[in-house]
Chains A and B, each alone.
Chain A
Amino acid sequence: MAVQAYDVTARKAHQWTMVLLVVLGFLLGEPWGAVPLMVAGVIMLAGRFWWRADVVRQLTWRVLEPRGILKRVERVEDHDTRRVARLIGGAAWLAAAGLLLLGAPLAAWVIAFLIAIMVVLDAAFDFCALCFIVARFDRRGWTGS
């Protein structure tokens, strides 16, 4: 396997923005809180398959880093797991937005905040919560691998 360096600054900018969108949604309450949640879900899902839709990374690469507002830091890290996590997170936030619109705010915010906490752990501490969960399942033989 070839090792590849990634722009960690852009990843973290993206992650923190997604968390802020979730928090903003929560502060807005129901039903308008569904809008930032949906935006976060769409950016996560669309950006997974089409990098131009990842507007925070685009902003980081085109504006914030060139102007020196953020400093580009490249590091070899795994992105395979993060891509899976991104799919799960985006789908979960869209589902949470749907639940919010359907009148189930408690379930919506529990789901939204669980994902947001996982994102915060990666953004702040480079801790892959999904890897941790999968490793625990593997060691118990629950993944079928």
Chain B
Amino acid sequence: MDRLLVVAAAAAGLLILVIAARAVAGRRTRRAQALSPSEVWNVLGANPDGSSAVVLFTTPSCAECGTQRALLRGVRVIEVDASKRPDVAARFGVLTAPTTAILLPDGRVRAVNHGFAGADRLASQLA
């Protein structure tokens, strides 16, 4: 009985952790979405070209980043090494790698995916 309670407590703790993590990720996403287009292009050191773009945040040891990069073929990708550009990563609220930020043609941040984003999700965000 005691052990069942421990398992239940562990499950409840995990649930609270997940809810908290989602809240943190959501807050960081909203902060990135609050960036003005000029701030976005300025921070990235890039210029708009009239098309949607994806900012791909990587780190040197990120194994998933190669797969994420391969999924982004055919889209304008602005790659940022978060370990070399922590300032940029902080502005976009990057928590992990890969992180993808979807930019609308005017530079507004449409969405931020914390962690690997599948093809279906990317396609719907870029549509």
**Contact residues of A with B, CB < 8 Å?**
1-3, 23, 26-27, 29, 75-78, 80-81, 84, 113, 117, 120-121, 124-128, 131-132, 134-139, 141, 143, 145
Contact = CB atoms under 8 A, between A and B. Distances in A.
Contacts of B96: 128, 131-132, 135-136
A128 B115 contact: yes
A131 B10 contact: no
Interface in B52-88: 59-64, 66-71, 82-83, 86
Interface in B3-40: 3-4, 6-7, 10, 14, 18, 21
A116 to B, nearest CB: 8
Contacts of A1: 66-67, 69-70
Nearest to B82: A139
Contact of B67 (A3, A29, A139): A3
A128 B61 contact: no
A75 B118 contact: yes
Q: Is the interface of A mostly helix, strand, loop or mixed?
A: helix
Contact of B59 (A27, A77, A126, A135): A135
Given A26-B6, A27-B4, A126-B115, A135 B67 contact: no
A78 B64 contact: yes
Nearest to B3: A27
B5 to A, nearest CB: 11
B110 to A, nearest CB: 21
A121 B10 CA distance: 13
Contacts of A77: 67, 116, 118
Contacts of B120: 75
Contacts of A134: 59, 61-62, 97
B59 A139 contact: yes
A81 B64 contact: yes
A138 B63 contact: no
